[in-house]
Structure 1
Amino acid sequence: MMDDRNALFSHQTFARAIEFIWREAELLDRRDYREWLELWDPAGHYVVPIDPNTTDFAATLNYAYDDQHMRELRVQRMMSGYSASASDAARTVRTVSRFTLASDSADMVEVQSSQIIIAYKRGMSTIFAANLTHKISMASGEPRLVEKVIRLIDSTDALSAIGFLL
């Protein structure tokens, strides 16, 4: 009986995590960055590493390694209208799929997935593909992002036009 309850809990937690990830993608496509900030645990990190194999994000060079303060500054810059990424922001459509439950406990779930972003700007479409890892806290009853790692498949190449949140 206990195994059935644990399996049901795990399945429900995984389903909630997937819905949460889809919600995050929707908010980013709508450019609802203020609401996106509300998804985060204050201690969380938004990471876009350059090295596709790194796990020590604090000790390596990244396109982004944002704590709460840096996420807020990034959003402020994107909403200000003064930066190029804000005044001429790309319109995006994200598809997130291939969800795999990497680990879960009563308080934390880790989900790996894939993401394709089509970004349209100035008459040009650009494709961004990445493997994602979301660590989501379930401790408060409401899911909160503790870590999001975006491993772009071409992260070691020269990249341009990534002035929006991935």
Structure 2
Amino acid sequence: MSTVHKHVEESQVTISQLMLPSHTNFSGKIHGGYILSLMDQIAFACASKHSKNYCVTASVDTVNFLSPIEVGELVTMKASVNYVGRTSMIIGIRVEAENIHTGVKKHCNSSYFTMVAKDDDGNNVGVPGLILDSKIEIRRFLKSAHRLKIKKNRQNDFKASEFKVEKHLHELKDQNVTVSFNSKE
């Protein structure tokens, strides 16, 4: 583990980009894939700034598209290191769109990218720790740590080699499914 620690604001990154007609999907709104691409770029910039190394995206959690983004709106993305492990970081990203004529802003998306620092040979490399200076930074760190714990538990609960169908069949009772599986097969 790295002995260096950095303040959260030292690695924060903000980008703004005007949304153009070339960024639209078939319904005339800004394509979600385009927004995800921008989010991946800012997550890379934030993680690389924090670690001073090349970083790769390991996972993306909780991508909720809350409001559509229109052509002509100014999209601003803010990225911050919310959590650090030994070689990985969770980057929190907030996406807002502003109608540049009215000044009205809307929250469009929040997401969490897990980024891993790499050395020149592609090996994982340690990242600096965080200095948490505020209640919101502590909350974000603990929320990310909690999310990681839940994710690991969920992976263990449904591990293919240990999954017992009979243990979980009752969970399907109120779902929109029909089970034609015979547990005696």
- TM-based fold match above 0.5: no
Which structure: larger Rg?
2
- With normalisation by structure 2, the TM-score equals 0.30
- With normalisation by structure 1, the TM-score equals 0.33
